Amino acid sequence: MAPRSTTATKVQPRAGQPPKRKPLLKKEISLGDRVQRLFTSLCAQIDGNHFTNAIKTCDKVLRLVPDDKDAKQTKLFLLLQTERYGDALALLESPNESSAFERTYSLYRLQQLDEAAQLLGKVKRSHEQSRGALHLEAQLNYRQGNYQVALDLYNQLLDSSDPNSEEYSDILTNLRASQKHLDFINTDYLRALDGLNSDVTGSLEHAPPPVPPSLSNVTGLGVTAPASKTGHVGKEQAAIRGVRSRRVPKGVVPGVTPPPDPERWLKKSERSTFQQARGKRKGGGGATQGVVESAGSSATGGHSRSGGHGRGGKKKK
């Protein structure tokens, strides 16, 4: 018997079947094509308001091209739109004139007003004619309590805006808020003080400003309050503490909704309302039932009834 050959034999395709094709190797996509595809999907995500996915796409672009200015600017815009101001500041590590407005706005939204006021000068130099810079300056002055400066800036913006635009209504709302604060400081507050008694105004003027108590200072000094005072304070706090919302049934407003019937757990026959209704039925309910007649009327009535087929009549045989 002849030995088998060790060479591999080609498998011939069966009759009627096409020969198998070799798998084609995928062509490597160039860096420019990959970035272009990512930017195409990025535009579609922004148009569809899918900002979270758009930020992830920007990160993919920046991993491929770390110095891409368009990707950085788009990511900064998306972070501000999604109110991620801390991440926006982290993206703006190297402050420059071009990003001063975004940095100032992020600091303003993070309540870091002093740093925002320091950068406001750079914003005004680089965005002199920008309405966004005027809006930011007006909002920053309003937040710092400079209501007159904010009012002047809002008047300037209101004069140059379209009355039919949404910006006009927003400016008008902020302008009214600034005007109300000014009226309270200049007139309403003084009128309220003039309406008080002289003793009250004198005590207010000479009284020191209140110092808010802090538990850390008390515990650090080792001061303990007397038992009677702590108990009194605890009662006051318990009285001030509101009703727990999880114990209030749905649709019940404490202090407004009438309380439930205290006899709701009793049977209807044992309730006081049932006894009253039963007594009413036993009393004078009809026209003639339960009417007390006089002696004469009862006698005549009895005589007239006895003449008929009453109880006193004879039975027929």
What would the pLDDT profile of 229-287 be if each residue is shown by its tens digit?
444 545 555 555 555 556 777 777 777 788 888 888 888 888 888 766 555 555 544 44
Give the residue, 303 or 112, on which the prediction is more confident: 112
Given pLDDT bands bounded at 50, 70 and 90, which one contains residue 315?
A: low
Dihedral angle over CA of 174, 177, 178, 182, nearest 10: 170
In the block, tokens 């003639």 appear at 288
Ramachandran sector of residue 16 (left: φ over 0; alpha: ψ -120 to 50; beta: rest): left
Is a pLDDT exceeding 90 seen at residue 80?
yes
Residue 84 CB: number of other CB atoms within 10 A?
A: 16
Q: Which residue has the tokens 């400066």?
A: 149
pTM score? 0.52
Q: Could you report the per-residue pLDDT of 150-181, keeping only the tens digit for each?
A: 999 999 999 988 989 999 999 999 999 999 98
Give percent helix, percent strand, percent coil of the chain, each to the nearest 5.
60, 0, 40
Give the CA radius of gyration of the chain: 45
* Every domain of the chain and the residues it spans: 30-82, 91-128, 130-198
Nearest-angstrom CA–CA distance, 70 and 62? 10
State mean pLDDT over 304-317.
48
* Confidence at 94, pLDDT banded by 50, 70, 90: low
